[in-house]
Amino acid sequence: MLDVSNFKVAEGVDLDLSTHDPNSKLGFDGNKKAGQAALPAYRKRLAELQTKLWAKKKQSLLVVIQAIDTGGKDGTIRHVFTGVNPQGVRVSGFGRPSEEELSHDYLWRIHQETPADGYIKIFNRSHYEDVLVVRVQGLAPESVWSRRYRHIREFERMLTDEGTTVVKLFLNISKDEQRDRLQARLDEPNKNWKFNSGDLKDRALWDDYQEAFRVALQETSTDYAPWYVVPANRKWYRNLVVSNILIQTLERMDPQFPAPEEGLEDIVIE
């Protein structure tokens, strides 16, 4: 197992993202090929834990994934959850809010998507957009977004108290890596569909987004719902780190198969 505690944002810390190297492969003594070869064993372990979570249906896991554009949210979900029973896993993506969503508080659409007992729910973007894009693009005044960190801490506290474990992943890529990934979307025909010229406007706001992420992580990383800064320039290492975080989180949840009915040993199937 990898020691993922290095990537956890401690509650109350003054976060300095420049101390988190997006290129890191800390704790893994091997190349890309070895890293890719290590993943299937982690997938298997994740599937075992999820089977118990699903069988018992007493707890749930919410995995929040946030990243700058091209940060690798979709690829992470695809690679890490391959092999997990699709019946017990759901993904919710949060794009620009609809008119109806905007006419409610910003957590309204989020709360409808939180996981039921037994499920793993992955948020591809989340309520954190309401302190990221909203802050950077000035979609709401500071007086509105600045109090949301507290709302979010309290919302996640409530979810935790009610049986949902919350874990949050910031996929951390460098600005150079983003350039290469955007360029690949232009150069490779089968990636053209992913290119969105709006992403260039956000790239121009790189520093503002980094600051918004820094503050969001610092203000909302708690013992009960921690953030992890995942080194994400190397996709294979990112997948290993995310798998390890999820496995270790589920191991702490310690799901168990429900007790079998009594007297099973006396039953003979005719």
Nearest Cα to Cα of residue 125 among 79, 166, 92, 88: 92
Among 94, 146, 157, 215, binds ligand ADP (CB under 6 A): 94
Query: Residue 68: CA atoms inside 13 Å, Cβ hemisphere, count?
Result: 33
**Binding-site member from 95, 141, 189, 263 for ligand ADP (CB under 6 A):** 95
Residue 125 or 191: the one with the smaller Cβ distance to ligand ADP is 125
* Least gap, CB of 37 to ligand ADP (angstroms): 29
Q: Which residue is nearest to ligand ADP (CB)?
A: 129
Nearer to ligand ADP, 91 or 133 (CB): 133
Q: How far apart are CA 4 and CA 168, in angstroms?
A: 13
Residue from the set 14, 16, 86, 96 that interacts with ligand ADP by CB under 6 A = 96
CB of 44 to ligand ADP, least distance (A): 28
| Closest CB to ligand ADP among residues 140, 253 | 140
Which stretch, 90-98, 209-217, 233-241, 248-256, contacts ligand ADP (CB under 6 A)? 90-98
Nearer to ligand ADP, 134 or 250 (CB): 134
CB atoms within 10 A of CB 9: 21
Q: Looking at residues 141 to 170 of the shown chain, list those that interact with ligand ADP (rule: CB under 6 A).
A: none
Of 209 and 236, CB closest to ligand ADP: 209
Q: Given candidates 47, 97, 160, 205, which one binds ligand ADP under the rule CB under 6 A?
A: 97
| Binders of ligand ADP in range 100-139 (CB under 6 A) | 124-125, 129-130, 133-134, 139
Q: Which residues of 189-211 are buried (b: 16+ CB within 10 A; e: fewer)?
A: eeeeebbeeebeebbeeeeebbe
Q: In degrees to the nearest 10, what's the CA dihedral of 96, 99, 101, 103?
A: 130
Nearer to ligand ADP, 2 or 136 (CB): 136
Tokens encoding 259 = 């007790």
Pairing of strands 89-93, 227-231: unpaired
Q: Are 210 and 16 in contact (CB under 8 A)?
A: no
- 169 φ/ψ angles, rounded to the nearest 5 degrees: -120, 125
* CA nearest to 120, candidates 75, 80, 62: 62
Contact residues toward ligand ADP (CB under 6 A) are: 94-97, 124-125, 129-130, 133-134, 139
